[in-house]
Amino acid sequence: MFTEPLNPEPWEQWIRASGLHHFISAYGQWLWPALQSIHYLGFSLLLGTVGLFDLRVLGMARQIAPAKLHRLIPFGIAGFAVNLTTGIVFFFGFPEQYFYNPSFQLLVTFVMIAGANAALFYVTPVYGEVKRLEPGDDAPLRAKIIAGTSLSCWIAVLVCGRLITFFRPPVFH
């Protein structure tokens, strides 16, 4: 956890001097609601693709072969890319509001756990095992653990994201 210093750190001063920060400050009135909406759409895309894939591995809709359902994953990755981009814009708009916000710190932690978990899925033999599953097959336990971790992490990311507003650091520049 980080506590906000009395004077802005050099990194914060650098962000505040950037063109992106000034652009957001100038057009925030419409830019902010628009980007917030897009950020929510991106997340929903992630839940509807990665989330449903995780649910299949966990045992829901078992008649679907996971390898076929995996075709939806690129849409989830696109959703994540959109959210990383809009998220960076938010951070440039109000850096200290996010950096010193416990809810945001937890959000980043869960994104990193979800990323490491996804990497574990694809680099270990688990991905191959899941890909070979036929319709009706039950996934092996280690695949279920990864899918359960994935689903839990993304839900936690959404919860932390929504709660950012309620954990704003007291100081506003």
Partner 1 sequence: MEGFFDWLEHTDLSQWIRGGSFAFPLILTAHVLGAGFIAGTGAAVAFRLLGVARGVPAALFERFYPVLWGALALNIVSGLLLLDAYPYKAFTNPVFYVKLSLVACGVYLAVRIRDGVLRAPPWQSPARHAILENSQILATLSLACWAGTLIAGRLLAYTYKWLLVGVPGGF
Residue 62 and residue 56 in contact, taking contact as beta carbons nearer than 8 Å:
yes
Question: What does the DSSP 8-state code read for residue 125?
Answer: T
Q: Looking at 4-12, 64-72, 86-94, 107-115, which segment touches partner 1 (CB under 8 A)?
A: 64-72
CB of 148 to partner 1, least distance (A): 15
Scan residues 68-97 and list those touching partner 1 (CB under 8 A): 68-69, 71-72, 75
Distance CA 42, CA 49 (A): 11
Residue 116 and residue 51 in contact, taking contact as beta carbons nearer than 8 Å:
no
Q: Which residue, 81, 68, 59, 27, is CA-closest to 143? A: 59
Determine which residue in the list 20, 25, 60, 115 makes contact with partner 1, applying CB under 8 A: 60
Distance CA 29, CA 168 (A): 19
Scan residues 114-143 and list those touching partner 1 (CB under 8 A): none
Binding footprint of partner 1 on the chain (CB under 8 A): 32-33, 36-37, 40-41, 43-49, 51-52, 55, 60-61, 63-65, 67-69, 71-72, 75, 155, 158-159, 162-163, 166
